[in-house]
Each structure stands twice: as C-alpha cells, then as structure tokens.
Amino acid sequence: MAGNSFGTLFRFTTWGESHGPAIGVVVDGCPSLLSLTEADIQPWLDKRRPGQSRYTTQRQEPDQVRILSGVFEGRTTGTPVSLMIENTDQRSKDYSEIASKFRPGHADYTYWKKYGIRDYRGGGRSSARETACRVAAGAVARKVLGDGVTVRGALVQIGPHKVDRSRWDWAEVDNNPFFCPDPQAAAEWADYLDGIRKSGSSIGAVVEVVASGLPAGLGDPLYDKLDGDLAHAMMTINAVKGVEIGNGFEAATLTGEQNADEMRAGPDGEPEFRSNLAGGILGGISTGQDVVVRFAVKPTSSILTPRQTVDLQGKDTDILTKGRHDPCVGIRAVPVGEAMMACVLADHLLRHRAYARG
Amino acid sequence: MAGNSFGTLFRFTTWGESHGPAIGVVVDGCPSLLSLTEADIQPWLDKRRPGQSRYTTQRQEPDQVRILSGVFEGRTTGTPVSLMIENTDQRSKDYSEIASKFRPGHADYTYWKKYGIRDYRGGGRSSARETACRVAAGAVARKVLGDGVTVRGALVQIGPHKVDRSRWDWAEVDNNPFFCPDPQAAAEWADYLDGIRKSGSSIGAVVEVVASGLPAGLGDPLYDKLDGDLAHAMMTINAVKGVEIGNGFEAATLTGEQNADEMRAGPDGEPEFRSNLAGGILGGISTGQDVVVRFAVKPTSSILTPRQTVDLQGKDTDILTKGRHDPCVGIRAVPVGEAMMACVLADHLLRHRAYARG
Amino acid sequence: MAGNSFGTLFRFTTWGESHGPAIGVVVDGCPSLLSLTEADIQPWLDKRRPGQSRYTTQRQEPDQVRILSGVFEGRTTGTPVSLMIENTDQRSKDYSEIASKFRPGHADYTYWKKYGIRDYRGGGRSSARETACRVAAGAVARKVLGDGVTVRGALVQIGPHKVDRSRWDWAEVDNNPFFCPDPQAAAEWADYLDGIRKSGSSIGAVVEVVASGLPAGLGDPLYDKLDGDLAHAMMTINAVKGVEIGNGFEAATLTGEQNADEMRAGPDGEPEFRSNLAGGILGGISTGQDVVVRFAVKPTSSILTPRQTVDLQGKDTDILTKGRHDPCVGIRAVPVGEAMMACVLADHLLRHRAYARG
Amino acid sequence: MAGNSFGTLFRFTTWGESHGPAIGVVVDGCPSLLSLTEADIQPWLDKRRPGQSRYTTQRQEPDQVRILSGVFEGRTTGTPVSLMIENTDQRSKDYSEIASKFRPGHADYTYWKKYGIRDYRGGGRSSARETACRVAAGAVARKVLGDGVTVRGALVQIGPHKVDRSRWDWAEVDNNPFFCPDPQAAAEWADYLDGIRKSGSSIGAVVEVVASGLPAGLGDPLYDKLDGDLAHAMMTINAVKGVEIGNGFEAATLTGEQNADEMRAGPDGEPEFRSNLAGGILGGISTGQDVVVRFAVKPTSSILTPRQTVDLQGKDTDILTKGRHDPCVGIRAVPVGEAMMACVLADHLLRHRAYARG
C-alpha cells in the first residue's frame, strides 16, 4: 500500500510531522463495545513522553491525546478511532544548518533522494515524534487484547552493559528512568549514561518486550507468521537495526538437542513446555507461552562531535547537532515496542477469530 | 490478508505441501516484456535443491520447475506467472509416530492447535520444501531488478564458528557445499559438520545477504520501510529467529560517533559514504550503498537423540526423528534468503517507480 | 495489489491463459476442517462448461478440476487450496488475423497498449475461460458459507426480452439451457436466440443472483460495504457493464415513501421487513433479507459481420470473427455471478466473525 | 482490511461522525512536489456543501478544511496529507425518537445488528456528512492527475425526468442548483423538486461522471479492473443502488454489431474509436477515450410521511423524520462521484507508472 498504515484487521494509519501543527493516528478495525476514553490512552503516552528525566530529550510536549471519533458515550462503536496530539513545543530555532546539510545516520539524505523535498524541521516525518502515534494505537490494541493479556517491555542493555537476568524484576521497571528490570544495573547505567550525556555523545541499547496470557494459535503462516509480523513491526521503529524472537541469534550457536523446547503433559491435559527458547512461537504460530521479542536500537547520530558530511550543493562540510536530544533513544523505545507488540497481537487475535473453528 | 502471499506490487502466493502432488507459486505483478523461461529459474532451484552434498537432506527431488502461464514466446506478458514443481520423492514411510506425537521445535503442536488438523507427512505446509517456491519467485524478481542489481548470499557462521571477514571472497561461495565466502572456514566447517551429522545432531547458522547496484530512494516509510519489509521477509523463512540490518545488534554497543556513516562528496557530485554500518538503509529508505541483511537459523529439531514430548492424547512420551534431514538447515537457507531479498527489492523498485517524480 | 486476487480473508488468486497448458486458482483463507473433494467443485464447473447446448460456444473442454493442495483426507487444512484445470481443446487454428488486428469490443487494443505484448490465442488472459477459476473458488466459498446459505442465479433478460417475474420458479432454472426461471420466456428465448446464432450475431443479457439465509451484519462500512464489494465483484466479470443492488436504477425514479422498506415486529421479536427494495443491504451491511444483485452483460463482439478496425501497423482494416463463440455470453455468466457472490459473502462472513462481539 | 480506507497506492482513510467534533481524511501515497494548499481543496468542498439552495439540507456547515500534515511550504512532501473539517452546526435537538427507533431505509437497524451500539446523532458514521472527506481526498487526487485530466459530473435524471442529451452543455452545470447540463431540464426540475420538497417527500436521481484526457492502459486486470474499481467506488457512496459503465444496462439489449465501438486510423497513427459505448474501458483497461460512469441514487428515507417500523424493544411503531434533509440527495452526490472517480484514476495512474515499460 502507501506506507503509513500497519495491520490487517486491526489497522492503524499515522500522520504528522515533528514540527507541524499536530500528529495523529486513525485506528480502524477496533471492535465495538470496548470501553475507551482518553484516560485509557494518556498513561502510555506519558510513559513515552520526553523530558521526564535527564536521560531523554528536554523537548517539553504534554502529548495530550484527544479522541475525535469512534467512541460514543465511553464505548467504541466499531468505526475508526481518530486520535490527535497537538504539537506545542515547536521551539523557534535556526534550521538553516540542518536544512542545507545531510546529518549522517539520519534520514535526511534518503528523504531528499526519494522525495526531492523534506520538512527539515526536527526531522519532519522521520522524527521519532511519530512513535507517540504508535503508542496511542497500542493503547487501543490493549483494549482489544483484554485484561488477560499483558504486554511489558524493558531495557536489557545499554551500550555494552547488559542486565543480569537472575535479578529480573518486572516491578523494578517503573522504579528507574531506564525501564530497567535489574535495579543494580539501573544504578550503574545512571552513571554510565551521565558520562555519555555530558560528553554530548549517544549510545545504543537493546529492548525486550514480553507478552503473556496469549492463547495458542495466533499467526497466519507462511507470510503473516506472528514472528514475521513482529519483526516487521519492530524494525519499523526509528533507529532499530535488529530483531530477535526468543533466543534469537544465540540459536545459531546451539545444537538441536540444546534448542528444542521439550514438552510434558500439564495438569489440565494441555502440554507444557519445559523451556521457551522459541520465544513462544513455532512455525509462525503462538504456542501459548510468553511471546518474547528483542530489538537493537542504534545510538542517535545527533551528537555534539562534528561529523563529516556534504551539503545540498554536494560540497564537503561538517555538522554537529546542537539542541535537545536523547543520549539513549533506546529508553523511550520501550513503550513504543510494547505498543507495536500489542498492535500485532490485537490484529492476529481478530484474524484468529475469523478463521476459528466452530 | 490470508497469509500465503508476500509483496504489494510484485506479489507472490505459494501453495502446496511437502508430500502432496506438487508445490507452486503464482507471481503477480511481474511487468511485461521481460525475457523469462524455465532456464532462468532452474539454476536457482538447483542451488537450493537437497541431496547435493552429505551436508543436506538426502531427499532426492529434481525440483523441475514448469511455467504454466504469464509467458508468451519467451517474454512475460504482465499476467500472473504460475510456476509448478511436482513432488516426486515422496518416500513411502511410516508416519504413525509423527502423526500421533508433537515434535519439539517443530510446528506440529501449533498447527494442531490452530487448525485442528494437519498434514503430518513430512511437515505438510510447514515443511522447508515450501522455500523452493520462494526461490522460484526470487528468480522472477531478479528479472525485474535487471542485470545492474546483484543479490548474493553467504553462510557466515555455523554454530559458534564464524568466517574471517578479512578472507571474504564472493567467488569462493560456489566452491564449497556451505556457500561459505572464506575457504579456510569452509574447510574447518566440513570437519565440524561431519561430526554433527554423524552424531545425528544438528546445528544453527547465520546467513548474510547483500544486494548491490540499487538506487537510493527505495522504501516507503513508515511501515513499509525497506528494512521493515526485509525483516518481515527473512523472519518468515523456516527456522529463522533473528534478523539484522547492517551492523545490527552491534549498533546497541556503539556511540553515535562510532556508528554514523560519514559522507564526502564523490567524483560525480553525488555524496559517498565512508562506511556502511547502516547496511544501506537510513530512515527505511535505501542510500544507494549495498543493502546488507543477516539472519539466524536455528538448528532443526529433527535429530536422532530422543526428546521429551506429548502425544495427541496428551500423554508424556519421547520422540526421535529418523530419516532424511539436514544437519544444518542454514546452508540451504542461503538461496532462500537471496530470493526473499530479491522479491522485496523488486516490489520496492516497482513502488518507487509509481511515486517517482517526473 | 497486483490485480489477479480478490477478497481479504477469503482470498483467491487466478492464473492462466485461454490457450496455455492450464488455468488455475489458489484459494487462501479457507478455514480448516471443511469437507472438500473434487466432487464438491466439479458440478459447478460443469454448469459453466461450454458446449452443452447450441447456445454456447462449441469449444469442448472437460474442465476437470484437480485439487493440488490444502486438503488432507477429504478435509481442508487451513492452508491454500490450489485448484488446476488443464486446457485440452486448444484447437489448432490460424491466429494470424487476430494477432495483427484489434477486435473491436475486445481487450486486444487495451492489452496491447498496457503491456506491449499479448497472448492473442483465444484472448489469452482476457478470455472468459478465466471465469472457470472463479467458479471453482466459488464452490469452495459455498463450503465456507455452509448449507444454511443459498446462492442462486438466473438469467432475467436476453436482449429486450425480460422474464415475467410473476412466473418466477427457481426450479425451472435447471430445465432450460438459459438458467431462465420463467419457462414461457425460456421457450421464447430459444427461438429468439436461434435467430441470433444463425445470423452470426450476438446479444446482451441481464443476470440476477440472490443469496438467502444470511445473517444481518455482514459488510464493513464505508469502503468495504457489502454492496460495494458485490459491485466490484460483478463488474470484474467479463463483459459486464452495469450492476444493481435491489431495485437498482429504478430507485432513481421513486419517492422516499415508495422506496423505504418498512418494518414490523416479527414472531420471534426480530423485526421483519415488509418489502426488499434495498436488496438486503442498508448502509453497506446485510439486513438478513435476501441479498439481490443484477448485472448487465454486453453482447460479445465476436461476430460474423465484419467490423471496422485497425491493425498493428495502424492501418484501417476490417475484421470478422470466425470460429466458436457464444451468441449470448450472459448465459454462462450465471454460474460465474453465483460464484462471485459466494466468494464475497464468504469473505464477509469471516470478517464478521473477526469483529463479532463476545 | 478494516473498511474505512480506499485505494492501493493512492489510498485514503476517512474518520468521523456526523455530530462528533470533526471529520477527516488521511491521504497516503500522494507523490511529493505537487503544489497543494487549502485553496486547492476548499472549492470542491464548497460545491458539496449543504445549505446553498432550497434543494439541499439547511444544515449550515462552513466545511472549512485544514491541512495538518504532508505539505511543506506549499508543496506535498510524499508523507500523509491529513485533512480535518470541524463540525460546527451540531444543532442541539432531541434524538430520543431516532435513538429508540430504526428509520426504514437508513442504516440504523444494520449498524445496531452489527455493532450493538450506534452514534444515533444525525446518523453517526453512516451520515452522508462523511462524503465531505471523499471530496477533500478527490481534490488531492486531481493534483495527482494533473491539468491534462478533467473529471466532471452532472445530474442526468431526477425521478423519472431525464436530461435531453442533445442539449448537453457542461458550462450549464454551474448555472443551476442541480449540476444539470441541460438548462431546460433544470428549469423543469426546479418546479418538480419544489413540489417534492414542500410535500416533505424525497426523490431519487442519476449522476453521470466523465473523465477526459486519460491515457490508454490504466487498469489492472482481472480483479483490479478500472471499471471494477469504479463500480466499487461509486457503490460505496451513500444511497447508491446501481452503477453503469458506458452504455451500461442498455448493452444488455443490443447485438454485437450495435455494441462494438469500431476503430479507424487517426491522424497521428493512433487508432480512433468511432463511438464510445464501452465508456472508455475494454477488458478493464482504459482505451484513452472518455471514461463514463453513471450511478443511481435512491431517495432519502428521511421524509415527513410516517413510516412503519419497530423500536429497540422490538415493538411496532411509526416514525417520521423532522428536521433538515435533502429532498434529492442525488444533487450533492455529484461532487462526491467526481471525487471518487478522481481517486480511482489517481490510484491507477500511479499503479500504471509502476508497471510501465522502460
């Protein structure tokens, strides 16, 4: 299609530029009779919102969401749910440098080559600001999934520093500015990231998202496999360069004996898996175990150290990016990854119902 | 949609089971006036074909492709290209074990839960035999891309053993049974894999696919990003558990200074990149550099060591898989990865033309 | 997408040319566990098959369908159902005239302009032979709809001669070679059509298709309205030039008082409609009444009277079409219209289930 | 998909209810570098706007469109164009009657059955107010088509009264409140429609839309035929019950000799057609002649005469519709039909470019 929509039955379309009047998302295919108000969406946006700690960009956006359609007397009607967020902190600044030079590692050059025009203010459409729309759509998707399904994300690595999984505690995720499930790692990261921030540098990260409570059977082989759609979803998030399901790249190093998740009869007659290296997906279909996705986020190229580039006239020049930026964009990718997971699952839940046996 | 199609403008649909009468693919959206005969497709199928060395399954399938439509007097007509491959070596065997038990690590259990029925003969639809259809579609996609674009794959890791990139030689890929670009690694892998094979075990691997000669501008942000579609494509290949673009997960460990691909003015006025950590894609759009994708393939669970599982009655049991299998399914995933890359690129090339500026 | 597929969740893709080795259809999205064999499909193909009376083309095609995938032990598995029909009566003939001239009223000129190449043998891809694939897909769709839903078609007009609706008897449809529900009209049509046939001419017709037993609620406003999809479906059948729902164009002549289908409480508490001018659809959603569609089929331009045209060199010339043709292609459009109706309804039934309230 | 989007490469998604805060449309797939401002869109909305004569509803809506994204410094950027229209005249009124009863001929009953909830204020999502979004999208589509393509609509029939085609004058369309190309008919219609209006009744109509200046070759057989997509487009407009291409249903009454559009060599070597009964489409592909579509619009059921219906409790009752309504909704369907035609053509123009030969 045309690039700005995602999903099949639960399908959303986003619009808007970083420094335009507003951004928004139209969620189509949301079933009727779900309770939905702005209060169901706002907390997720607040989680992604910038300016909440010194580790994220200082742009101040209230990110106040408004429901413009699809809800009547507090319940969804089955018609499109249109959500809008106004841009308020479009700080007046001098864009002449960014307008005339291509920032390395950003989409400046490719947008220019593709479209012959770009809204250079704050990255325009390629800005991570668009991810607020994903988060809003994800909040609606959670309503479709219902209370029985939990979708949670965490930051598991910043630069070379990984969490210690033996200390994993979901409750810790909300206790530090990194969505880190390991309190000791969080403390260490704080120092590490202060150094990065003060030097005007940036650093990459790895995010993990886990969905619990799903039924077995979600996913449509072969090309709409659940893992295929999840990989698609995560790889479209800004700055993501890699996606894994379950043990991911580690699976390449294992033997068949090591990698198979064995099964035993469970108490209710249903089989139980003795491990979950597969990340809850076999043959593209959910097993009923936790669905586990990880993705790598590159460091932003908006840094204070000058980098070599060219300008619109094709001349060599240097660029350094002043202004408000995230030392680790991976942090704010956590709620975005959760949202994309929720949207993929909601879509497949609806599709599953369509084909379900009597 | 319904799961067995891939692509938007260059779109293919596959059908067929491992032990049915035939498998096939319908390629829709192939432009007219391209020269196309079976001889353009067969070599790629031969490359994927099993039974060519002791390192792949001994199933003997000629994989002879037949063009049933869409070609007139040696040229494509713009109508659907239907390709069929008959299954010939459907070895008569006893399927009672596989019919009544779920093989761990395979799709047996999930297909059963989703569909309530499964063609258990050789994995049915979930068999890697389906990938022959992808390879056939990929051969047509190469015609769409034209001679100026090269899509090449290589095996870069078997188990813990990686190639030495300083020895990378594309010409070596055809000189060993592993599609390995490093002749020294290939020699070492031969011994290693003999051990795996003789012990009835299996091992994972990593495949890298590189496309050269592409123009800048391919990819439709935000949700049809080129890297998003590539991740989707690769993750739907059997046994794939992870996908990376460019430096992938390594990007998580780098700083912004390290990770940015700097630019300098090139001889023809077009900018040149001084590195390609991004893997040829920025903001979801091709930069004109090589597009680089890597994916991890898990070891097949079809091994001679018994594994714990349950049967259809929900009772505990063990299973071991006799018969013909690949000690490293990653090897034959190389031409499949190439094919999927070619299909994604062909699709985006057509889409690019649609929106191209006058 | 790429043009040769129809439907969203119940989605089929057809391929093949009139005089190629075979034609076929891949039905994707058929739920599992439906009983399906060739014997379920063949009768519908036989109904459409040419050469059964002197009023249809004398091409002799057994139109024997073969199921190549998607069915295991007589039941669907949820994987793609691939159906193939071999072309057998590809009468050797001289195509030089048709190859070098554009037949007026046919797709010769437009295919040439679009593709720059065409398989001129028997119309190639634009041949009505493709409709056999639609009929085969429709037979699968009927399985999805189940026994409670009936989809029936009839010819209601040949040239200026309409049926008398007061004599409508569905049982008569199988008693004459016209699928005419009015036996008296059928007798008159026989004479009329003999005249057309003997003079080497052709004549248009109107087909009506009625679906009974549907639940209320099918259809996805606004752009996937049930009537929108039906209009789409019927207009893509060869030679169709108009589509109506319910009273159709007659509605343009009526007042609001005349046109409203009033409602009264029915015996089971559900409302009953006192008329069905709407053709079973309001606001794009089924009412539970019969869904009624009509479409106009133009006369084939393959006639014995020479018509003015141009040749490939752009020179004026004349053409007349010898050989086997239908004096009234509308007749064989009846089972095709039924099939398309069944496919649209099956698709919307699955979609309805997806969004259905708990 | 999910129902509220239309098109493939030029694709729009609409949202909003009649009495919500706003309605809007997101146009995705608009090529970059087209000049676009609100002033390009507003005139078409003004043409559709209610309350401009005594023959349309007296609801007063300025229908002021606002571009929220996708345009930078007066030119499109290739990113989604989000258009919003605020609802201002949401007249406070008593909806208790309409809330508790199903209006015959409206979508009240079917929405209730499908969704179990409906925004009954002014028809909610099923209101013709949504068509303003189609008109806005159509204005963008015209930019894609460029100045060489003209898309014009006219009302050709009100009730039983047709225009005299020998008096057809496109310039007259803007000289009367009916978009009538025949000034004499327009005068007669004024009296006729005054009678309808004063009696609180309503009447049906037929709209014709003609596109000129198109190249040959648009349309993707078989299921994305240009006529198939046009039929789909028009049938999804509120109250439309029939669609014709070219001579439409009249083709059913003609012989092959009468119906074929003969060709002669034109002055520039390209063939010229001697007539255009086909309405500019053969085999689903444009011939380069005018594309001609007609559609029938039923009379609105919102009339002052009480009609029988049932209430939410399933009890018999009567309903009559007071308030602001159109005596002939067909009038305002003219700009809507134009817009849908423009959108279909823009989509196919982009698709055509994608597959175009070198």
The Cα D160–Cα D153 span in angstroms is: 19
**Of residues B201, B209, B187, the one with CA closest to residue B135:** B209
Q: Among all residues of chain D, which has the CA nearest to that of A2?
A: D29
Phi, psi of C256 (to 5 degrees): -60, -35
**Structure confidence at residue B52 as a pLDDT band (50, 70, 90):** confident
Q: Do C125 and B77 touch (CB under 8 A)?
A: yes
Phi, psi of C110 (to 5 degrees): -70, -40
Chain C closest-CA separation from residue D73 CA (Å): 32
* Cα gap D22→D41, rounded to integer Å: 17
Residue closest to B296 by CA, chosen among B267, B328, B269, B318: B328
- Distance (Å) from the C-alpha of residue C137 to the closest C-alpha of chain B? 15
Summarize pLDDT for D109-158 with one digit per residue, the tens: 999 999 999 899 888 999 999 999 999 999 999 999 999 999 999 999 99
Write down the pLDDT at residue D323: 67
Nearest alpha carbon to residue D246 among D217, D214, D281: D281
Paired strand residues for C310: C316
Distance of CA D339 to the CA centre of its chain: 6
Chain C residues whose CB is inside 8 A of the B125 CB are 69, 77, 79
B122 interfacial to chain A (CB closer than 8 Å): no
Residues D267-295, mean pLDDT to the nearest whole number: 95
Q: Report whether A75 contacts A51 (CB < 8 A).
A: no
pLDDT of residue D92: 58
B283 belongs to an annotated ligand binding site? yes
Residue that is written with structure tokens 């289908």 in the block: C261
Between strands A71-72 and A75-76, the pairing is: antiparallel
Q: To the nearest whole percent, how much of chain D has pLDDT over 70?
A: 97
Cβ atoms of A314 and A195 within 8 Å: the answer is: no
Q: Does A93 touch chain B (CB under 8 A)?
A: no
Strand pairing partners for D244? C242, D294
The span from the CA of C87 to the CA of C215, in Å, is 39
- Residue D358, pLDDT score: 47
CB-defined contacts B:D, below 8 A: 38
Q: pLDDT category, C91, cuts 50, 70, 90?
A: low
Q: Is the pLDDT of residue D215 over 80?
A: yes
Determine the pLDDT at residue C90.
65
How far, in Å, CA of D84 to CA of D16, rounded? 10
Q: With an 8 Å Cβ cutoff, are C9 and A351 in contact? A: yes
Question: Which two tokens mark B200?
Answer: 């009835």
pLDDT tens track for C100-111: 999 999 999 999
Interchain pair B109, A357: CB under 8 A: no
Cβ–Cβ < 8 Å for D106, D301:
yes
Distance CA B243, CA B256 (A): 22
Beta bridge partners of C150: C212
Lowest mean pLDDT among A323-337, B221-235, C18-32, C186-200: A323-337
Closest by alpha carbon to A12, among A314, A357, A339? Answer: A339
The answer to whether the beta carbons of residues D222 and C125 sit under 8 Å apart is: yes
Beta carbons of A297 and A330 less than 8 angstroms apart = yes
User: Taking CA atoms, what residue in D is nearest to B356?
Assistant: D31
- Crossing angle of helices B329-355 and B226-235, in 10° steps, is 150
3-state secondary structure of D167: helix
Which residues in chain A have Cβ-Cβ distances shorter than 8 Å to C221?
79
- Listed by number, the residues of chain D in 195-224 with a beta carbon closer than 8 Å to a beta carbon of chain C are 196, 201-206, 216-217, 219-224
- pLDDT tens-digit readout, B86-110: 998 766 566 788 889 999 999 999 9
Rounded Cα gap, residues A23 and A4, in angstroms: 13
C49-88 residues touching D, CB cutoff 8 A: none
The three-state secondary structure class of D75 is strand
Q: Convert the pLDDT of each residue in B155-187 to its tens digit.
A: 999 999 999 999 999 999 999 999 999 999 999
Q: Are B20 and B85 in contact, with CB atoms under 8 Å apart?
A: no
In the predicted model, what is the mean pLDDT of residues D323-341?
92
Q: List chain B residues with CB under 8 Å of A131.
A: none
Q: B219 — alpha (psi -120 to 50), left (phi > 0) or beta?
A: left
Per-residue pLDDT tens over the stretch C259-308: 999 999 998 878 999 999 999 999 999 999 999 999 999 999 888 889 99
Q: Could you give the 3-state DSSP secondary structure of residue C286?
A: strand
Q: pLDDT in tens for each of the 358 residues of chain A? A: 799 999 999 999 999 999 999 999 999 999 999 999 999 999 999 998 877 788 877 677 789 999 999 999 999 999 999 999 999 876 656 678 888 999 999 999 999 999 999 899 888 999 999 999 999 999 999 999 999 999 999 999 999 999 999 999 999 999 999 999 999 999 999 999 999 999 999 999 999 999 999 999 999 999 999 999 999 999 999 999 999 999 999 999 999 999 999 999 998 878 999 999 999 999 999 999 999 999 999 999 888 889 999 999 889 999 987 766 789 999 999 999 999 999 999 999 999 999 986 4
Do you know the residue count of chain A?
Answer: 358
Rounded to 5°, the CA angle D86-A84-D119 comes to 60
CA C267 – CA C231 distance, rounded (Å):
33
Task: Quote the tokens at residue B81.
Answer: 């290209």
Is residue D257 over pLDDT 70?
Answer: yes
Confirm or reject contact between B293 and chain A (CB < 8 A): no
- CB atoms under 10 Å from CB of C52, counted, come to 15
Q: Report whether D268 contacts D255 (CB < 8 A).
A: no
Q: Which pLDDT score, from 0 to 100, does residue A256 have?
A: 95
- Counting as contact any 3 or more CB pairs under 8 A, the partners of D are A, B, C
pTM for this prediction: 0.98
| pLDDT for res D356 | 82
pLDDT the model gives residue D347? 98
Instruction: Spell out the residues 6+ positions from residue A265 whose beta carbon is closer than 8 angstroms to its own.
Output: A271, A272, B310, B314, B315, B316
pLDDT reported for residue C324: 65
Mean pLDDT of chain D: 94
Please provide the average confidence, as pLDDT, over all residues in chain C. Answer: 94
Specify the pLDDT at position B122. 85
β-strand partners of A243: A295, B243
Q: Is B18 on the interface with A (CB under 8 A)?
A: no
In this complex, is the C-beta atom of C328 within 8 Å of any C-beta atom belonging to chain D? no
Average pLDDT of chain B is 94
Tokens 């120092």 correspond to A191
Rounded CA-CA distance C342/C150 in Å is 9
To which residue do tokens 């001239």 refer? C101
Q: Residue B110: its chain A contacts at CB < 8 A?
A: 216-217, 219, 281-287
Say yes or no to pLDDT of D357 above 70.
Answer: no
| Cα–Cα distance for residue pair D273/D142, rounded to 1 Å | 26
Among B192-196, B277-281, D95-99, where is mean pLDDT lowest?
D95-99
CB pairs under 8 A between B and C: 158
Q: Is the ipTM of this structure higher than 0.85?
A: yes
> Per the annotation, does C96 bind a ligand?
no
Shortest CA gap A207–chain B (Å): 10
Residue C117 at interface with chain D, using a CB cutoff of 8 Å: no
- In sequence order, which residues have a C-beta less than 8 Å from that of residue A3 and are 6 or more positions away? B220, B221, B222, B223, B224, D28, D29
